[in-house]
Amino acid sequence: MRIQHDAPGMRGIRSRNKTNGQLRQKRGDTHLSTLEDKYGEISDRRGDTHLSTLRELRGMSLSQMVKADPEVTHEPGLNGRHRNQDGRIRAKRGDTHIETLRDTYGMDFAAGLPGNLHLGILRAATGMSLSEMLRHPEAVQAAAEKLQ
């Protein structure tokens, strides 16, 4: 169904004001996921982000955002993990079992330690993050010997 007097190439159906025929403004509490279902990718922010927040952050109207390239707020980090809103790579959970990490990083990761040991314990013993442990396997091995 086309609304009379729509601009050529206008995407989606939005009603118009009866008094002057202008398009009605989309409600500010509309979620990004709802907008992307209708207009395609707009931003990689969370789906529950409100349109009013996007308007404020990007300084654009909805029609400008739809025409512009999608906003990218962060890049994938280590092994497909993403960055938090503050830019830091999300940390692997401390209750992740060593056996789970071995599936990803190889059977020699923290060799000699039981598979049901938590990553948090290994972090405390080495004082390193997971990415640091991967770069310095000798430090992990030394900590593993102390933990046994």
pLDDT the model gives residue 72: 75
Give the burial string for 5-44 (b: 16+ CB within 10 Å, else e). Answer: eeeeeeeeeeeeeeeeeeeeebeeebebeebeeeeeebbe
Q: Is there a single domain that holds both residue 10 and residue 64?
A: yes
Q: Is there a single domain that holds both residue 103 and residue 64?
A: no
Q: Is there a single domain that holds both residue 27 and residue 63?
A: yes
| Interval 54-70 mean pLDDT | 89
Q: Is there a single domain that holds both residue 14 and residue 51?
A: yes
Q: What is the pLDDT of residues 70-112, one digit of tens each?
A: 887 765 545 555 666 666 666 778 889 999 999 888 898 888 8
Q: Is there a single domain that holds both residue 114 and residue 48?
A: no
Q: Is there a single domain that holds both residue 58 and residue 96?
A: no
State the total domains in the chain.
2
pTM confidence score: 0.43
Q: Among 58-62, 67-71, 85-89, whose mean pLDDT is lowest? A: 85-89
Q: Which domain holds residue 126?
A: 91-147
C-alpha to C-alpha distances, 48 to 69, 75, 118, 146, nearest whole angstrom: 20, 19, 33, 46
pLDDT the model gives residue 2: 46
Q: Is there a single domain that holds both residue 69 and residue 10?
A: yes
